[in-house]
Structure 1
Amino acid sequence: MKNYFLLIFLILLSSCAQKNINNQKESIADIYYKKAKETKKDSKFYYFNLAKNSYLEIQDSAGVGKSLVNMAILQHDKGDYYGSIETSLEANKFLKNVQDSLTRWILAASYNNIGICSSYLYDFDNSVKFYNSAIKYANDPENKYTYYNNLGDVLISLKKYKEAQLNFVKALQTKEKSNYAKALNNLARAKYNDNPNYDPLPELYEALKIRQQQNDLYGENSSYATISNYFLIKDKNKALYYAKKMLEVATKNDSKEDQLQALQKIINLDKENYLKYFVRFQTLNDSVQISRSKAKNQFAVVRYDVEQKNAENQSLKLRDTENKIDILYRNVVLIILSILLIVAFFWYKKRKKRLEQEKELEVKNTQLKISKKVHDVVANGIYQVMTKIENQEHFDKDEALDELEFVYEKSRDISYEKMDSKNDDQDFSEKISGLIGSFNNENVNTYLAGNDESIWKGLKESTQEEVYQVIRELLVNMKKHSKADRVVFRFERENNLIKIFYTDNGIGISGDVIYKNGLSSTVSRIETIDGEIIFDTKIEKGLKINISFPAH
């Protein structure tokens, strides 16, 4: 109780010294910012958020902007790319004075961060736009060379190799050896992609040597990845060697993203030890996904907590202002109320935090469910209708309109969690036959075997829905990426286990196709129904996928 009276006494003193505190706000904001720069990563976001709020109080827009940009970069580092873009865009709102050199520097860094996040999200066109904005506002030569290099990298993804080379040549003007090695490595990559007869190895090895001399482990990983890709067709043993070197260095510097890339390469190259590396890949990838999810939640909680504290501080300031009006007559009342408020505050805060956590979890689960429903019903539904129209020469117009009207109605019903009422009286085996048949055309022949009613007997509706979406995703992925002209589905039921065998004669599966072409969703769905999915990449051509799950 003595501590409570001491706190009340400090509150009263603070009201008498309000003017001095106001004069010190700027230094408080700078202290928070400095502490954020010096502290460990786990606390950086928290202190940058405090600095941002303090800069807001003193109307320092540049301070707000630089704090938000640093927060956005931390979100990017943790894999929260959408959140990072949102925070950078919020920062840009405070960076209006483009005549100020500091503002231009911060704005350039913000656009560069958005460009990087957009490239990770495969939004390459927007990535190019944001990198150009970063170059436009950059007033530091070394930073500008970095932005030229980043722009060239995304232009390679867009297969604009000559334009990419022009940017890498500009990036080579850097005086920093690590940045020079990065630009040199990327320039050789662009030249080789533009002209397969070009020999990039001298430049690639030179870049690797510089990175080794600089002890630039992340740079070494980039070099090993590029050289491994170069030897992928020419010499698989060398390709495997450099992929393993990449894994070794990535493990050493605990770069999980680089480890995943290296494992993807090794899985396709080391046939004898394929299973060992595939299990390691799955385990690491699960860990990365969990880490990213935790990071997103952590950032949201930190921002919410800081905003709550800021609101509480504002409330205290308001009470202090009111107390000044008649402090001599209200001291007793103030002390009594403050004691009650402090006791109630800790009780309320504990209870409110628990309720907020429960509500936040509920909201996130609802968002995930709705997002999945939109993907299943709207995106894949429309794509299936488009496929029918494309594949059937005399497709019935009324039937197409009915299909689109159904998708429209379903999109309106998503928020009400209505179940799929279409074809409820249609047997599930018929629905599967119709789905697979809708992708059959003059360029692609689809076949299915074993799709009897007995296969699906006793299968829950929720499991049926997941299986239907899995088959549709496989077909959509085939049409978009595989270039196959023959697709086979075979269904079996053994005891209480349903098996689906998928085969096509397309271009096969590359190292990162599972997580870039939509098949990651397929893996997730199979896990949801306690099933197992195996991608067979040992065949010379085409793709084989074996799926099994309990029949309940």
Structure 2
Amino acid sequence: MILIFLNQMPYSGIVTKILLLSLLLFTGCRKNSSPLPPPQLPDLEKAEQLMYSQPDTAFSLLNTLATYSNDSLTVASALNYMAIIQHDAGDLYGSLESLLAALKLLNPAKETNRYTLQAVYNLLGTNSLNLKDYPAAIHYYLESLKLIEEESFKQIVRNNLGVAYQKKGEYNKAIDIFANALQGLPDTTIDYARTLSNLARTKWLENPAYPASAELKKALRIRTIKGDEWGLNASFAHLADFYAASNPDSARYYARQMYASASAIKSPTDRLEALDKLISYSPAPEAKSYFQAYRVLGDSLQTARTTAKNQFALIRYEAAKAKSENLALQKENAEKQVKLVRQKAALFTIVLVFLLAFVAGLIWYRKKQQQLNWMHQQKLREAQLKTSQKVHDVVANGLYRIMTNIEHNPALEKPTLLDDIEYLYEKSRNISYDEVDQPIQSIDFHQKISKLIKSFANDRTRVYIAGSDAQLWQTLNLKVKTELEQILQELMINMKKHSQASQVIVKFERAGKELKILYTDDGVGIPANLKPGNGWRNTENRISGLNGWFSFENNPPRGLKIQIHLPVEYST
């Protein structure tokens, strides 16, 4: 279709050859470029299984998922598991960073996101609690509780929330949470033991005289029966603190039990806490050995945490570096493809621009010709309209006035009639030559107006004029006077033709900054179905051209009032 169109234009052979050449270049420079293969994503469940046995391997697999997966829930789940590994290794700030990244990807309105979201909020609370940011911990635990449906997990988070209030020193709130959580729980369950131990400890912290030993030991017995090793560790800690002031031997006993329990569950943080208690509760010689063990364990724990933190950072760095290199290769590949496309399309683009410019120029030329033709026709119509207006106002109305004079003035002298006819001839001649009428002499304009209006009086119609004196017209310029003469002439001719009036009054007056012309007759008025002709439309245009306005008071079948208002400033 393009070639057929071009063949109909000048220079079509050259344009066609250029187009064909560009198409050949466009199709002949193609070069295959194979994309880089995406990385192999590991399985999320497999990585989860390795979290506690091989945390470094699990973290690396999870980080690969978080870096390359396109599924937001998978990425958020991987980041949550990474945060758990970081938390267990003591990298609390790194864990917070991973959790906050996961939080941005989860939508609470999506049912599939709720489970991961509640776990993220709970771990955020636990990290904040360990960092002693208790208000933040409370906030995150409350957000987690809004989403949890499983009762066992809800019990865990309620206890965490109560501990946060306890650490913050708001014991009454913590007691209320633990007491409400305890209701309805069988007194043989791990949840019951956890809640009971926390409740007793909080009551004792709030009131050191509170006898918490029975409830703390009851919780210990339940945990022993259930084999809850992490719970036993917490019970030993609570009992050691409770007996610290009243019974140092019992306090040391439970502190040693806590140390043994922490060693069994391989929790260096709890071992360190147990050694801190033994240092506080033991005599000086014994405390010295505990202090030595505390210092060695503390240094070892700090080294392990630093190593883990660095290891996690290194894994993330390597993954980010690999992704960056992958993206760089993809970018380079894409740039090569873009360069090839640009080279192939360059000549074709030039030809296309040439064709578009040629077509646009042709369209512009045609539109320009149409516009010039329209403007010419518009000028002709305006000139015809202007000539038509002049013919109506000057020739038709002038002839009508002469006819009226002849009809109602039998004694009209021949020289006067010839003068009027000659004046009308000069006016019509000026129209044919498009000449400007000579201006009216301003000194006798009031007389001219009076003569014009009086010329429409006869035996059946009496015409009265009021307010037209020389002083009234002195401030009006010649253009306004010329327009007013035509307006009044059209007004009186319409009266003569249509009104059947026996009495006509034309009154002129100055009202502030306005010149008012008041026309009144006792004729038949204006019928409702009468359509205005050219004469009246010309009159409306003249009044508007002088920035004036007019109004009717029509009372058929007897009488018509017309008011014409013209601004004096426009006229001076």
Q: C-alpha offsets along residues 100-151 of structure 1, whole Å, 9 cap, x if unaligned?
A: 2231221221121111111111111221122112212323332222111101
- 1:291 and 2:304 correspond: yes
What SS does the aligned partner of 2:211 have? coil
Q: C-alpha offsets along residues 38-94 of structure 1, whole Å, 9 cap, x if unaligned?
A: 222121111111111232xx2x21111111111112111111111211221111111
Residue 63 of structure 2 corresponds to: 49
- 2:148 maps to a residue whose letter is A
Residue 218 of structure 2 corresponds to: 206
Give the gaps of 5 or more residues in structure 1: 1-12, 328-552
Residue pair 1:145, 1:170 contacting (<8 A) in 2 also: no
- 1:276 and 2:289 correspond: yes
Residue 121 of structure 2 corresponds to: 111
- 1:229 and 2:251 correspond: no
CA distance in 1, matches of 2:209, 2:128: 32
Q: Report the alpha carbon displacement of residue 318 of structure 1 after superposing the two structures with TM.
A: 5.2
Q: How does 1:38-77 map to 2 (within 5 A)?
A: 38-39=49-50, 40-55=54-69, 58=70, 60-77=71-88
Pair 1:144–1:101, CA change in 2 (3 A) = farther
Q: Report the alpha carbon displacement of residue 320 of structure 1 after superposing the two structures with TM.
A: 6.4
CA distance in 2, matches of 1:106, 1:133: 13
- 1:48 maps to a residue whose letter is L
Q: How does 1:126-525 map to 2 (within 5 A)?
A: 126-172=136-182, 177-271=189-283, 272-317=285-330
- 1:161 maps to a residue whose letter is Y
Q: How does 1:76-91 map to 2 (within 5 A)?
A: 76-91=87-102
Q: Report the alpha carbon displacement of residue 254 of structure 1 after superposing the two structures with TM.
A: 2.1
Pair 1:34–1:54, CA change in 2 (3 A) = farther
Q: Report the alpha carbon displacement of residue 240 of structure 1 after superposing the two structures with TM.
A: 0.8
Q: Report the alpha carbon displacement of residue 322 of structure 1 after superposing the two structures with TM.
A: 7.7
* Higher Rg: 2
What SS does the aligned partner of 1:98 have? coil
Q: C-alpha offsets along residues 178-220 of structure 1, whole Å, 9 cap, x if unaligned?
A: 3332222101111222333332222211211222223222211
Residue pair 2:115, 2:148 contacting (<8 A) in 1 also: yes
- 2:177 maps to a residue whose letter is N
CA distance in 2, matches of 1:183, 1:233: 24
CA distance in 1, matches of 2:49, 2:149: 25
Pair 1:14–1:104, CA change in 2 (3 A) = farther
Pair 1:169–1:54, CA change in 2 (3 A) = farther
CA distance in 2, matches of 1:103, 1:174: 29
Pair 1:83–1:254, CA change in 2 (3 A) = same
Pair 1:64–1:170, CA change in 2 (3 A) = farther
- 1:33 and 2:22 correspond: no
Q: Report the alpha carbon displacement of residue 315 of structure 1 after superposing the two structures with TM.
A: 4.0
Residue 380 of structure 2 corresponds to: none
TM-score computed with the length of structure 1 as normaliser: 0.51
Give the gaps of 5 or more residues in structure 2: 1-31, 341-572
CA distance in 1, matches of 2:153, 2:319: 32
What SS does the aligned partner of 1:112 have? helix
Task: State the Cα RMSD in Å.
Answer: 2.8
- 2:203 maps to a residue whose letter is K
- 2:194 maps to a residue whose letter is K
Residue pair 1:33, 1:67 contacting (<8 A) in 2 also: yes
TM-score computed with the length of structure 2 as normaliser: 0.49
CA distance in 1, matches of 2:218, 2:153: 23
What SS does the aligned partner of 1:234 have? coil
Residue pair 2:118, 2:147 contacting (<8 A) in 1 also: yes
Residue pair 1:101, 1:139 contacting (<8 A) in 2 also: no
Q: C-alpha offsets along residues 355-375 of structure 1, whole Å, 9 cap, x if unaligned?
A: xxxxxxxxxxxxxxxxxxxxx
CA distance in 1, matches of 2:339, 2:149: 54
- 1:309 maps to a residue whose letter is A
Residue pair 1:260, 1:285 contacting (<8 A) in 2 also: yes
CA distance in 2, matches of 1:127, 1:186: 17
Pair 1:71–1:171, CA change in 2 (3 A) = farther
Residue pair 1:185, 1:203 contacting (<8 A) in 2 also: yes
What SS does the aligned partner of 2:149 have? coil
CA distance in 1, matches of 2:276, 2:252: 11
Q: Report the alpha carbon displacement of residue 257 of structure 1 after superposing the two structures with TM.
A: 0.8
- 1:93 maps to a residue whose letter is K
Pair 1:224–1:260, CA change in 2 (3 A) = same
Pair 1:167–1:235, CA change in 2 (3 A) = same
Pair 1:274–1:196, CA change in 2 (3 A) = closer
Q: Report the alpha carbon displacement of residue 310 of structure 1 after superposing the two structures with TM.
A: 2.0
Pair 1:228–1:309, CA change in 2 (3 A) = same
Residue pair 1:146, 1:171 contacting (<8 A) in 2 also: no
CA distance in 1, matches of 2:317, 2:191: 38
